Amino acid sequence: MPVTIQVLPPNRFPRFYRGGPRIAAFRGIDEPDERLPEDWIGSTTHARSEDNGPSRLADGSLLADVLAADPESFFEPAHLARHGAEPAVLVKLLDAGERLPVHFHPDRAFAQRHLGIDHGKTEAWIILEAEPDATVWLGFEHGFDPSWDAAAMLDGMRRIPVAAGDALYVPAGMPHAIGEGILLLELQEPSDLSLLLEWQGIVAEEDAFLGLTPQVALEALTTTPASRERPVGRLLPAEADAFFRADEGASFDAGFAIVVVHAGAGELESENAASVPVRRGSTLLVAYAAGAWRLTGSARAFRCRGPA
């Protein structure tokens, strides 16, 4: 019988942009490296062209191997029937130590047709920390001109101020940029596919367009601006359920989940597993076999799950 509540250690590695100290502070790590801007939590996904991405447990074992060894304990039957022994979601901490370039992600159909990959990259952001005047940009207000420089692109996009507690849904194809000074929790389809509209001096053109021509890559771009509507009674809109789910609180029903404790301290107690002490910055995997679970004390968490 596997341990059905697993503490998930940090899983950080370099990316092309700066960031990392906010993740270290959130997790209580004394390694504020400015070139480790992402922490992939409970991941079975590989980063593109890198030997990074999959998570290991505290004993060094690969999470993917642990899940595959006893999938019936970790996943509910409906999930197993549809997705097998895979979380079917990638959960990240992301620290924007600088403004990220304007980019977008392909949807499933485009990824399958042009890249031979099953998943696209619809995503969502839950803001954990934000400096005053922190901003994200989502979608173009009035179309897109490929001749635009970076300043023109940002001027043409919908600018959205953000603060801790905000949640934003970013469907595949929507251009976006994350401003400096933001720590966020990201849920996304389990892939590492980004197409950069702003890439000169950042990455090579081949990497910016995933080996595609710019003309083909732009077929994946949508120019509809982000909605200003906020869903009532839930973090993310209903259309996100086809890709991932997220909710917040202290008491949850049984089911596979990646858990990120965002506030307070206490214990995670479940019907069928030993209690685990937690605090802000703790990240855990809760298996289906653990049963219903709750957080004690002042602890509050985001529960991240795969598609409905």
pLDDT digits (tens, 9 = 90+) for 165-196: 999 999 999 999 999 999 999 999 999 999 99
Q: With bands split at pLDDT 50, 70 and 90, how would you rate the model's confidence at 1?
A: low
CB 81 within 8 A of CB 132: no
pTM over 0.95: yes
- Mean pLDDT of all residues in 199-217: 96
Roughly how many angstroms between the first and final C-alpha of the chain, as a whole number?
26
What token pair was written down for 97? Answer: 């130590």
Residue-level pLDDT at 230: 77
Reply yes or no on whether the pLDDT at 77 is more than 60.
yes
The per-type count for the chain, helices as H runs and strands as E runs, is 8, 20
Reply yes or no on whether the pLDDT at 164 is more than 90.
yes
Residue 299's Cβ-side half-sphere holds a number of Cα atoms within 13 Å equal to 26
CB 139 within 8 A of CB 157: yes
- Mean pLDDT of all residues in 223-244: 88
CB 257 within 8 A of CB 303: yes
